Structure 1
Amino acid sequence: MVWLFAIATGLIVANLYYAQTLIGPISKATGLDPGAAGLIVTLTQIGYVLGLLFIVPLGDLLENRRLIFIALLTTALALLAASITGSARLFLFAALCIGIGSVAAQIVVPFAAHLSRPETRGKTVGKVMSGLLMGIMLARPVASLVTDAFGWHAIFVLSALTTAGLAFVLRAKLPLRRPEGGMHYFALLASMWHLLKTTPILRRRAAYQACMFGAFSVFWTCVSLELTGPYFGISQSGVAIFALVGVTGALVSPIAGHRADQGKSRSTTLVALTLGALAFALPLLVHSSRLVDLGLLVLASIILDMGVSANLVTGQRAIFALPAEVRSRLNGLYMALFFMGGAIGSSLGGWMFAAHGWTGVLWTGLAFPLIALCIFATE
């Protein structure tokens, strides 16, 4: 079941990131202005935040398997719409809907935590989140490779078919999970504000991850534009290989989860936030030949993904240690808050790249983990 959860979350959340390395070709095909290209990623993340706030809480109210099934079919339809449109407005609307439907992944994660024993919950969540992070990171190289071979439309068609197939597999394999409920939907939503006010660990962990995910989005929204630009001149296949190397950063997730189970969350958080800052400081401080600069970018991508992965799992371990009857709402709030950071990062990144180039992007990215370290200093 852990393997199924890990693969499912990876496949679902990958839908948010296929467009990240394809901003250039999608913008040209739909006539989107280069300065607004970051909207492709930003609107997907905004859709995800809306889903986290208004759909994921239903995991504490409705039967979970049916909720996952409906969300996945919605995502498949939005992906199909994105693949056939030539209009910028319609593509951006489809991107918003892809984000909303992809919150099925965040109904699956509390499902896994619910089925786990308390003493191994962090390790289980770490394994499932490894699948989710592998999905995020593999989405970029897969999208680049498929685009090089068949055009950018193909990845959205392929993903629509995969997501629809996954919906039926999960409906067949997942056990029924019917929460106790006893609360109306609007009362459920109102309770989220109360949970946010009365759960300081949620606010703190969400602030850390919002900064880390903002940095992550700044980097990965713009790095493909830099790599395919005049200085590096790399093809989409080269971008795919670059992104594939960054996937190794996700391997730290189970280690971070295990350390959190041992009560070492604070030291793990400090290391994760420091790695986030280091990822942007390295290419800013060291300038050399084209090959060395490319090597530094590869190293920065691995370090950044390690920091983001470790911090995410450590945060979720803390959230899932809280009462089971509010777990879906807490997870929804946690993910929504840090995805807001991601949306800010992707929109800022696109604008900074257009206005100030790659150096402006690196300084913007560095600001996010530095803010998180300042917050951490008050812990």
Structure 2
Amino acid sequence: MTNNVTELEMNKPKGQILTKRLVLLMSITCGLAVANLYYNQPLLADMGRTFHANSHQIGNISMFTQIGYAIGMFLFVPLGDMRERRLLITILLSAVTVSLVGVAAAQNLPWIYAASLAVGITTVVPQVIIPLAAQMAEPEERGKVIGSVMSGLLFGILLARTIAGFIGGSFGWRSMYWVAAVLMLALAVILRSFLPKSHPETPLKYRQVLTSLGELIITQPTLREASLVGALLFGSFSVFWTSLAFYLEGNPYNFGSQETGLFGLVGVVGAAAAPAVGRLADRFSTKSMVGMFILITLLSYLFFGLFGSSIWGLIVGVILLDLGVQGAQVSNQTRIYSLVPEARSRLNTVFMVTYFLGGSLGSSIGSYAWNMWKWQGVCLTGGTMIALSFIVWGVHRRIYNG
């Protein structure tokens, strides 16, 4: 890739712009950026000891981070339809660098809550890049491209836990955030040099863009269903990962943050399936695929509940959980990006804001369920959210396919 790619304009033929190397760069960026949201999960027990907090209090760190992400998507992602995306991405990466330094330097719970909220608000670069990739892709390859970029994002989500567990266990949890800050600053420089310059897809003003979000929700039933299903599935995902560190540090495992982080490697199996899911989404009914992935996610919680006291039960469950949630997300995003092509950033905003509000709810009730009822309460809570997502999917299918 040469610097000439930065001179290319988005209104030129897409095939000349979206090279494999550019897709790879987008995928790596999504993975490194989204990782900021998940470094805390294997480190929660360590953070709790630092701040002398119980599991529910410290679990709120994950909740505030995900709420911040939802706020950031609502405020900044719609700008992707009306502003030059490369500059927007560079500014956001610079801002998240400062936010990560705030977490690393936190001295008490209110401080780390506020800094975590700021990290979430400014870690929205992946949700600016994904619509950009969808815009640049040929229609017949859109699912494949989204799947490739999304695989980088999920690798980041999962490997963040492994890396954070290793660095936090070896050098202390604060070290992870100093490393993350350096990575974000480096990304800002790299993307400023190599991302192509884009052009706005809509002449709307910012207030009109925000108003149009409500219009999209009202007029697009598929967007409503996909967003709610995604929120419930990601909520179940967050229930598990927020509670796992507390479960593994006690009997029968007695694991530390390093061992907890290794479970992120297990979930890579699910992330590796994302490009394949994208290719399937280009060929088959994405609506039916979403239902299949909901059932796979529900099966994961059956393994957690029935066999969670054994390592193999957790391993199988993690693989199924990540495959199900990732598969449903890729399928749903492929569906919604075809609804209103000129509003892809706004469609993505509605979807992902709802998605991460579900995740923040899952983090909160997951830590609460652990605090009150331990592992079986966690499994029942996550399983209930998945069952609700299947009901939403089924009702929508009956109404709009009937």
TM class by shorter chain equals: over 0.9
> Quick check: 2:56–2:364 contact (8 Å CA) kept in 1?
no
**TM-score between the two structures when normalised by the length of structure 1:** 0.96
Give the whole-Å Cα distance in 2 for the aligned partners of 1:286 and 1:89. Answer: 37
**Cross-structure match for 1:23:** 44
Query: Does structure 1 residue 104 correspond to structure 2 residue 121?
Result: no
**Cross-structure match for 1:309:** 326
- Given residue 49 of structure 1, which amino acid in structure 2 is its aligned partner? A
The within-5 A match list for 1:132-211 is 132-211=153-232
Instruction: Kindly state the Cα deviation for residue 230 of structure 1 after the two structures are TM-superposed.
Output: 2.7
Map Cα deviations across residues 294-315 of structure 1 (whole Å, 9 max, x no partner).
2101110110000001000001
**Cross-structure match for 1:68:** 89
**TM-score between the two structures when normalised by the length of structure 2:** 0.91
Instruction: Kindly state the Cα deviation for residue 180 of structure 1 after the two structures are TM-superposed.
Output: 4.3
> Quick check: 2:307–2:314 contact (8 Å CA) kept in 1?
no
- CA-based RMSD of the aligned residues comes to 1.2
The within-5 A match list for 1:1-379 is 1-286=22-307, 293-378=310-395, 379=397
Instruction: Kindly state the Cα deviation for residue 286 of structure 1 after the two structures are TM-superposed.
Output: 4.2
Instruction: Kindly state the Cα deviation for residue 364 of structure 1 after the two structures are TM-superposed.
Output: 0.3
What 5-or-longer segments of structure 1 have no aligned partner?
Answer: none
> Quick check: 1:48–1:339 contact (8 Å CA) kept in 2?
yes
Give the whole-Å Cα distance in 1 for the aligned partners of 2:185 and 2:307. Answer: 46
> Quick check: 2:89–2:128 contact (8 Å CA) kept in 1?
yes
Map Cα deviations across residues 273-294 of structure 1 (whole Å, 9 max, x no partner).
001111111232347xx5xx22
Give the whole-Å Cα distance in 1 for the aligned partners of 2:354 and 2:336. Answer: 13
**Cross-structure match for 2:9:** none
SS at match of 1:38: helix
- Given residue 232 of structure 2, which amino acid in structure 1 is its aligned partner? C
Give the whole-Å Cα distance in 1 for the aligned partners of 2:358 and 2:201. Answer: 32
**Cross-structure match for 2:7:** none
Map Cα deviations across residues 47-103 of structure 1 (whole Å, 9 max, x no partner).
000011111001111111111111111111000111112121111111001101111
Aligned residues: 375
> Quick check: 2:239–2:381 contact (8 Å CA) kept in 1?
yes
Instruction: Kindly state the Cα deviation for residue 224 of structure 1 after the two structures are TM-superposed.
Output: 1.4
SS at match of 2:124: helix
Map Cα deviations across residues 253-286 of structure 1 (whole Å, 9 max, x no partner).
1121111111331332122000111111123234
**Between the two proteins, what is the percent identity of the paired residues?**
36
The 10-residue stretch of structure 1 (65-74 or 243-252) with the greater mean CA deviation from structure 2: 243-252
What 5-or-longer segments of structure 2 have no aligned partner?
Answer: 1-21, 398-402
> Quick check: 1:36–1:351 contact (8 Å CA) kept in 2?
no
- Given residue 209 of structure 1, which amino acid in structure 2 is its aligned partner? G
